[in-house]
Amino acid sequence: MLPTRASTAAPAALFLALVLTGLLHCQSTAPGEPSPAVRWAAGPQGWLLAADDRRLLATVGDAAGLAVFESAFWARREPGTAALVRQRAADADRLYAEEANGNRQQRRGPSRGSLTDRGRALILLGAPPILRSSRRNAPVWDPRRSDGPAPTVASTSLRLETWVYPVSDLPPRGASELGLGPGEQASLVFVVKSERPPRERSVGEPRVAERVELIEGERVLAAAARALLTPDADRSAP
C-alpha cells in the first residue's frame, strides 16, 4: 500500500501558476511526429491521467513544458507513486510480454505489456490476491451456419480471468468511492481470446495468440486511479 499524507501545497494553484507563467505552452512539432505530450500520455503513466491533467497536458508543446507538467503531475499524487508505477510497469512488461509480442506480430493492440488491460490493472491495483479462471457461455451469430433468412445464433465458450481484491487490499479512498465495507471485495473480469494468425506464421511465432480484454471493472480501475491523487488534488479535480 502507498504511504499517505494529510495534504499537499495547493496542487491546483501550482497548475494554474504553470499556465500563467507560460511554462506550459504549445509549439509545433515536425509533421507526422507525435508531440512529447502525446508520447508521454501513451506510456504506462497515462493510466493515471485525470480529466484536468489531460486538459493541461494538451497545452504542452515541447520537452521543456513536458518536464514542468510531469513534475506537477507527480506532485498531485501520493508520495512514492512515481516509483511504484515504474516498478509495476516493468513487471507488467515482463508478465504480459507474450500478449504484447502477439499484438506486434499481428499489428493490433498494445505492443507493451504495461499498456494492455491487465497491465493497466497491475499498475493501478497491484497483483490480485485472488485469481480465478472460469468459462462462460455466450451467444454469437455464426454466418457459416446460416441456411435461411434469419441469422443463426450459436453458443461459444468464453475463457474468463477474474482478479479479486478484498477491501483490505484496496486504497481506502477507492474502497469508499466504490461503497465497499468490511468483508466485501472488488473484481475485475477479463476475457481471454485465442486468435490464429491471419497469415503464414514466421519462425518462432506461436500457433495461437492470446488477446485479453477487460469486460467488467472499469469503475474499479477509475476509482483506483483517483485514489492515487493526494486528498487536496482529489477535492479540486472535476
Lowest mean pLDDT among 81-85, 158-162, 202-206, 231-235: 202-206
Which pLDDT belongs to residue 134? 94
Split at pLDDT 50, 70, 90, the class of 101 is confident
State pLDDT tens for residues 42-56: 999 999 999 999 999
Assign 1 a pLDDT band (cuts: 50, 70, 90): very low
Predicted pLDDT at 194: 76
pTM above 0.95, yes or no: no
| Confidence at residue 144, expressed as pLDDT on a 0 to 100 scale | 59
Grid coordinates of 73: 503531475
Task: Note the pLDDT tens digit of each residue in 211-224.
Answer: 899 999 999 999 99
Q: Higher pLDDT residue, 140 or 14?
A: 140
**Which residue, among 205, 213, 207, 214, has the nearest Cα to 101 in the 3D structure?**
205
Q: In the prediction, which pLDDT does 226 show?
A: 96
Helices (H), the chain: 11-20, 36-41, 51-57, 63-75, 81-95, 97-106, 117-125, 172-177, 218-227, 231-236
As a whole number, the mean pLDDT across the chain is 81
Q: Is the pLDDT of residue 166 over 90?
A: yes
At residue 40, the pLDDT reads 96
Write down the domain spans for the chain. Answer: 11-236
**What is the full DSSP assignment across 97-126?**
HHHHHHHHHHT-S-SSGGGSHHHHHHHHH-
Q: What is the pLDDT of residue 4?
A: 37
Q: Supply the pLDDT for residue 111.
A: 78
